[in-house]
């Protein structure tokens, strides 16, 4: 098959066929990722409280389902927005016909105001600099197409969202070079790790075009410190490269420290109207904060509905507050359930998941042992969680576990299953250790008896 450039010389069907082949290659390539394999296993045997109570519980999906009642309550109180009316007059035809492809002005204004509200109104956004896409995935890929190509690289701190291997590299031809972070400092970015990643890219003859971070972090569930953000700004300034701050989880920060947007750092450092300002890009979506991943804001109908919802400042204030409280309560239940099973987590304050430490459950300190443990959890315990290796974590034994995409009862059941599993491992390990100790004790007695018998025989011989 020829290149895409060659395909473009033909007709539209040639291009579709070319992409069709890439879709097949994509399916084959990413089927080997444990992150996607876990999803496949869940889809074969999904848990249902009534229909399939012994099925796999989905804990690998970062989805916020805790505040649907608030959304549905607003929809019930605002029937005009739902039925596409303005002052009780239908505007369906108006919305169905051609609209500005930059987006409805009312929606863009409501969106930037909501983004500012989430950030404590410490920063503001310009609607003229807002580009709408069908989700954050599309936004990140579009940025890659704009900034990089084959032979170029983007630096990403580990651990990172497994989907980035697909979103950033698949069609763009760009490469990802990891910024290696460790548990020794809570997986925070350091200056030495940044420089090491940059040098590694150069050794591979890759041109570094930028750094991409998720803040709050997926999969860590933590917000970046001001020191880390300052470090990043200094680094991209020195290297004259771009910085992409994926802030899709910015509205999920439920406890201190507070979320600090990269925009706030730039503003505090008075970097507006500088080259650095022009090379910083913020990615945001309503899919995590509002729990609306199915609402792709590329249609005028969706934009009209959401502009009405987000313009209701009383509603957004109440929603943000209750969302934070419910996320914190649910995260506490997960952490408590894990603690009862003898498992700890990285201390977190944001996101829809926890970064869970199961290193003590590994049979050895290897990624092979991590995969063995992961398979037992998926196939035997029937919980789909994401292993750290799928997130490019440098240390085996860490797992991302989601908590906001299920009912409280389902989470309770998941913790019961995990506790029983850990108890069985503990018993097995104890039994194994007891056997080893018994063998060692018997071996010691046997050696002692043999030595004593040998000494006795020599004594008899000398007499």
Q: How many CA atoms lie within 13 A of 412 on its CB side?
A: 4
What pLDDT shows up at residue 96?
82
Residue of 288, 289, 319, 357 marked active site? 288
Dist CA 69 CA 346 (whole Å): 30
Do residues 410 and 42 make contact, with C-beta atoms less than 8 angstroms apart?
A: no
Do residues 66 and 404 make contact, with C-beta atoms less than 8 angstroms apart?
A: yes
Q: Which DSSP letter does residue 396 get?
A: T
Do residues 338 and 345 make contact, with C-beta atoms less than 8 angstroms apart?
A: yes
Do residues 301 and 307 make contact, with C-beta atoms less than 8 angstroms apart?
A: no
Dist CA 54 CA 47 (whole Å): 6
Residue of 152, 167, 246, 357 marked active site? 246
CA 12 to the chain's CA centroid? 36
List, in order of start, the domains of the chain with CATH numbers.
30-67+318-420 (3.90.1150.10), 78-315 (3.40.640.10)
What pLDDT shows up at residue 241?
98
* Catalytic annotation present for 165: no
Dist CA 38 CA 246 (whole Å): 25
Q: What is the pLDDT along the chain (463 residues), one digit of tens a residue?
A: 333 333 333 333 323 333 343 444 444 344 468 888 998 999 999 999 999 999 999 999 999 999 999 999 999 999 999 888 888 888 888 888 778 878 999 999 999 999 999 999 999 999 999 999 988 999 999 999 999 999 999 999 999 999 999 999 999 999 999 999 999 999 999 999 999 999 999 999 999 999 999 999 999 999 999 999 999 999 999 999 999 999 999 999 999 999 999 999 999 999 999 999 999 999 999 999 999 888 888 888 999 999 999 999 999 999 999 999 999 999 999 999 999 999 999 999 999 999 999 999 999 999 999 999 999 999 999 999 999 999 999 999 999 999 999 999 999 999 999 999 999 986 666 544 454 454 455 544 443 343 434 434 444 443 4
* Catalytic annotation present for 161: yes
* Catalytic annotation present for 15: no
What pLDDT shows up at residue 342?
96
Residue 313, classed as helix, strand or coil, is helix
Residue 209, classed as helix, strand or coil, is strand
* pTM of this prediction exceeds 0.75: yes
Neighbours of 161 (CB within 10 A): 24
Nearest Cα residue to 86 out of 304, 306, 314: 304
Q: Considering just the CA atoms, what is the radius of gyration of the chain in Å?
A: 27
What pLDDT shows up at residue 396?
98
Residue of 160, 161, 198, 304 marked active site? 161
* Catalytic annotation present for 436: no
List Cβ neighbours of 47 (8 Å cut-off, separation of 6 or more). Answer: 53, 54, 55, 56, 57, 58, 382, 410
The CA–CA distances, whole Å, from 408 to 53, 73, 128, 316, 374 equal 15, 21, 42, 24, 23
Do residues 362 and 398 make contact, with C-beta atoms less than 8 angstroms apart?
A: no
């Amino acid at each position: 098959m020829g290149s895409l450039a060659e395909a473009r010389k033909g007709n539209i069907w040639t291009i579709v066929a070319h992409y069709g082949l890439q879709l097949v290659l994509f399916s084959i390539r990413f089927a080997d990722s444990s992150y996607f394999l876990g999803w496949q296993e869940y889809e074969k045997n999904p848990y249902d409280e009534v229909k399939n109570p012994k099925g796999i519980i989905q804990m690998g999906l970062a989805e916020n389902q805790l505040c649907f009642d608030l959304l549905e309550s607003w929809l019930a109180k605002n029937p005009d927005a739902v039925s596409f009316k303005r002052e009780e007059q239908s505007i369906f035809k108006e919305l169905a016909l051609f609209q500005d492809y930059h987006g409805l002005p009312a929606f863009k204004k409501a969106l930037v105001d909501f983004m500012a509200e989430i950030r404590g109104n410490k920063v503001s956004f310009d609607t003229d600099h807002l580009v709408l896409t069908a989700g954050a995935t599309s936004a990140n890929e579009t940025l890659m197409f704009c900034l990089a190509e084959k032979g170029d690289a983007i630096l990403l701190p580990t651990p990172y969202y497994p989907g980035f291997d697909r979103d950033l590299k698949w069609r763009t031809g760009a490469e990802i070079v990891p910024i290696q972070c460790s548990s020794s400092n809570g997986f925070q970015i350091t200056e030495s790790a940044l420089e090491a990643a940059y040098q590694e890219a150069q050794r591979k003859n890759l041109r570094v075009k930028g750094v991409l971070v998720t803040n709050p972090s997926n999969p860590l569930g933590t917000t970046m410190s001001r020191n880390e953000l300052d470090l990043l700004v200094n680094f991209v300034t020195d290297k004259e490269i771009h910085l992409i701050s994926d802030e899709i989880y910015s509205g999920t920060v439920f406890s201190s420290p507070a979320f600090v947007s990269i925009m706030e750092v730039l503003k505090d450092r008075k970097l507006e109207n500088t080259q650095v300002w022009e090379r910083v890009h913020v990615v945001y979506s309503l899919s995590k904060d509002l729990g609306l991943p199915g609402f792709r804001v590329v249609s005028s109908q969706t934009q009209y509905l959401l502009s009405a919802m987000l313009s209701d400042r009383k509603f957004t204030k109440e929603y943000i507050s209750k969302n934070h409280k419910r996320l914190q309560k649910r995260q506490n239940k997960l952490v408590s359930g894990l603690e009862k099973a003898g498992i700890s987590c990285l201390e977190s304050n944001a996101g829809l998941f926890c970064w869970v430490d199961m290193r003590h459950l590994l049979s050895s300190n290897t990624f092979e042992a991590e995969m063995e443990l992961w398979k037992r959890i998926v196939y035997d315990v029937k919980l789909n969680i994401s292993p750290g290796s799928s997130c490019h974590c440098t240390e085996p034994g860490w797992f991302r576990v989601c908590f906001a995409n299920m009912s409280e009862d389902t989470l309770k059941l998941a913790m019961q299953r995990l506790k029983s599993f850990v108890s069985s491992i503990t018993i097995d390990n104890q039994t194994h250790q007891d056997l080893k100790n018994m063998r060692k004790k018997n071996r010691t007695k046997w050696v002692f008896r043999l030595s004593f018998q040998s000494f006795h025989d020599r004594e008899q011989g000398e007499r």
